[in-house]
Structure 1
Amino acid sequence: MGSTLADVAAHAGVSVQTVSNALNNPALLKQTTLERVLASVAALGYSPNLQAKRLRHGTVSTIGVRIEPATDNIASSLLDRFLHELTGRADARGQHVVVFTAESDDDEVRRVRSLASQRVADRFLLTSTHADDTRAPALLDAGLPFVAFGRPWGPAPAHSWVDVDGAAGTREATEALLDAGHRRVGFVGWPIGSGSGDDRRRGWASAMQERTGLGDDDLEAITVRCTDLLSDAVDATAPLIAGDVDALVCASDALAAGAIGAAMEAGRSLPVIGFDNTALALGIGFSSVDQSVGQVADAVLDALDGEPGAVTMLVTPQLVRRQHVRWGIAPNDRGPSPS
């Protein structure tokens, strides 16, 4: 039989309440007392009965997350990485993640209501936010606690969300190329109206305007837009490659790979920077903006664990530089080493 709270209290020479404070409210104790109690916890191998605690507080400490259908989309691996980080970091907090499927936003709301009513999960994470997203209002109306990974891309009631600052990521990428001496840095993005795609173009455009003086029309002339399919990106990027651009910033790694395909067909070499830092970027050897999904996972958990009220946060991504002889950029002291 495992040690109890009373066993720890007796071993440390303190009251049971003091042990409880050490585990749940350590700021209430003197440092010497806290250290003595924690030493006893370690010596006896005491592990709190989390299930009993959850029953007392009427919670199950489980986060429900919808998983997307399997696709050939390269960016889908990003959500897999995020769920891995979220699950591990939740486990370290004594919490769990349960995944479920849904065919649509309305179906997801129904599934969330069902999981909550069956006490399978008591908090939820929304992913893949988009324009006209009805999920957040529905969960607010139902009184269900949730956080969105992704900001609202249009009018929405106040709610908690965590997102990656895409504009900051593409701005850093563009500035890295400008610092290396490139001046005609083109942009490969998604069709207008994609919230995250428009945000990523803004970061590129702001850096180009400030550093090169190009106006909106000039920037539009070195911008191409297409779907996230690699084959579409090859065709869409060919005119830029045939022109006078000397480097490219892309809204995703799939678009970057397509740009490299177009460059290879044209016999050109130029730096290309993607977004998401997927295995594709590592395999081909081009630089990419990493979304810092570990930081996102921590921010999501902090928001779920925080006091009631809307919490919003933008996580700053980081440029990962790679030195491929044809597609890479030179290293410097800014930014992490390739991984």
Structure 2
Amino acid sequence: MASMPTVTDVALAAGVSRQTVSNVMNSPGIVRADTRERVQAAIAQLGYRPHASARRLRTRRSSTIGIRLDPMIDGISGSVLDRFLHALTEQADKQGLRVLLFTATSPEDEITQLQRLNDGADVDGFVLTSTFAGDPRTKWLIENGISFVTFGRPWGTNDMNDPQHLWVDVDGWAGLHEATRAAQDAGARRIGYIGWPSPSGTGEDRRRGWRDAMLERGNVTDDDLALLEVVCEDGVAQGTAAMQELRRTAGTLDAVLCASDSLALGAMIANPERVPVTGYDNTPVAAAIGLSSVDQSVDEVAAGVLELLTGEFSGNVQGAPESDEPRHRMVKPRLVVREFAAIPMDVPGRASV
């Protein structure tokens, strides 16, 4: 009996990547029309069944994926995880899978919940978010041979190619690099940056994108960059205070980039000179107030997570056959440019923020 066609077969026939095939099946709106038609034609020609890749997960126990419902931070930047959860649930449903939400107060408490759900056969695998260096959750899952994929790389010494860790992440370096390049191409030279304090793998990744683009252009020094950067905790009030400090220490500013939309909103408030500000996350707030922002493409992230969780590795590399298939997916974000409008603090006749 001839073997059933696989995602790899479809990708080869259509001349695209496995990720593109997954996107066509789960998030067709993010794929160019001509590419989508080519993939769909290959699916029809080969007789590929889109749900076949999920069968391995579905036939184990419960056809259910567990994921922690992250706490809201300030209602702005935290919304990216809400959007990811919505995309994951919608795409999982198309593959006959369910998503089970649970809460936890700490990484240690989350491990307790992971063990409870696994022991009770309530889920077949887990999706973890908000990863960090030395994350005890992933260590516990690997040691216990439990299927999982993370939204976020391991942030360790081998974080790009950890053979035991399946992950999908957004390339924060590329996002801030593109945003910096766009500001430079618009004529900006002195571009400030408001980011998060260390340690923060995500924050440092984004900061490097800004820093590398600034140094590549060759018209600033390391001393200049030190003056052009302020770090603070995430939040609107913190962004306002950081922008005030940046204006005091950096001198003339042509543009300001921020590690989140929360910080960018705060920077817009303390900005009487109306210096263009760009955020990160492309939240609904950014769209509502005309803030340029880097979009994390959560539909692509969700598609990649499900492909790793239901495909060749089934979320677990222990005992998996030798394969050249990559064990992670790096999603490139995109810059969404909007017409900038500052929100100054001190406007005659207007109440202070």
TM bucket (normalised to shorter chain) is 0.7 to 0.9
How far, CA to CA, are the matches of 1:119 and 1:61 in structure 2? 10
Shift of 1:271: 1.1
- What's the TM-score once normalised by structure 2's chain length? 0.75
Shift of 1:26: 10
Aligned length: 290
How far, CA to CA, are the matches of 2:265 and 2:58 in structure 1? 53
Task: Give the secondary structure class of the aligned counterpart of 2:270.
Answer: helix
Q: 1:257 to 1:24 in 2, by over 3 A?
A: closer
- What's the TM-score once normalised by structure 1's chain length? 0.78
Superposed CA deviations along residues 235-254 of structure 1, whole A, max 9, x for unmatched, are 12113234211101110001
Task: Give the secondary structure class of the aligned counterpart of 1:296.
Answer: helix
Q: Is the contact made by 1:185 and 1:247 (CA closer than 8 Å) also made in structure 2?
A: yes
Q: Which runs of 5+ in 2 are unaligned?
A: 11-42, 318-325, 344-353
1:246-325 mapped onto 2 (5 Å cutoff) = 246-263=254-271, 267-308=272-313, 309=317, 311-325=327-341
Shift of 1:62: 1.2
What is the match of residue 331 of structure 1? none
Q: Which amino acid in structure 1 is aligned with residue 81 of structure 2?
A: L
Task: Give the secondary structure class of the aligned counterpart of 1:183.
Answer: coil
* Residues 230-239 or 270-279, more deviating: 230-239
Q: Which amino acid in structure 2 is aligned with residue 322 of structure 1?
A: R
How far, CA to CA, are the matches of 1:22 and 1:300 in structure 2? 21
Q: Which amino acid in structure 1 is aligned with residue 194 of structure 2?
A: V
Which of the numbers 162, 172, 175 marks the counterpart of 1:169?
175
Q: Is the contact made by 2:87 and 2:298 (CA closer than 8 Å) also made in structure 1?
A: yes
- In percent, how many aligned pairs have the same letter? 47
What is the match of residue 133 of structure 2? 131
Q: Does 1:237 align with 2:251?
A: no
* Structure number, greater radius of gyration: 1
Q: Does 1:92 align with 2:108?
A: no
- The structure 1 segments of at least 4 consecutive aligned residues displaced by more than 4 Å after TM superposition are 20-27, 53-56
**RCO higher in structure (CA 8 A, sep ≥6):** 2
What is the match of residue 69 of structure 1? 71
How far, CA to CA, are the matches of 2:213 and 2:6 in structure 1? 49
Shift of 1:258: 0.9
Q: 1:139 to 1:245 in 2, by over 3 A?
A: same
Task: Give the secondary structure class of the aligned counterpart of 1:83.
Answer: helix
How far, CA to CA, are the matches of 2:232 and 2:124 in structure 1? 39
Q: Which amino acid in structure 2 is aligned with residue 200 of structure 1?
A: R
How far, CA to CA, are the matches of 2:194 and 2:8 in structure 1? 51
Q: Does 1:109 align with 2:111?
A: yes
Q: 1:183 to 1:148 in 2, by over 3 A?
A: same
* Residues 108-117 or 202-211, more deviating: 108-117
1:193-212 mapped onto 2 (5 Å cutoff) = 193-212=199-218
Q: Is the contact made by 1:241 and 1:262 (CA closer than 8 Å) also made in structure 2?
A: no
Q: Does 1:57 align with 2:29?
A: no
Q: Does 1:183 align with 2:189?
A: yes
What is the match of residue 150 of structure 1? 152
Q: RMSD across aligned C-alpha pairs, in angstroms? A: 3.0
Task: Give the secondary structure class of the aligned counterpart of 1:307.
Answer: coil
Shift of 1:58: 2.9
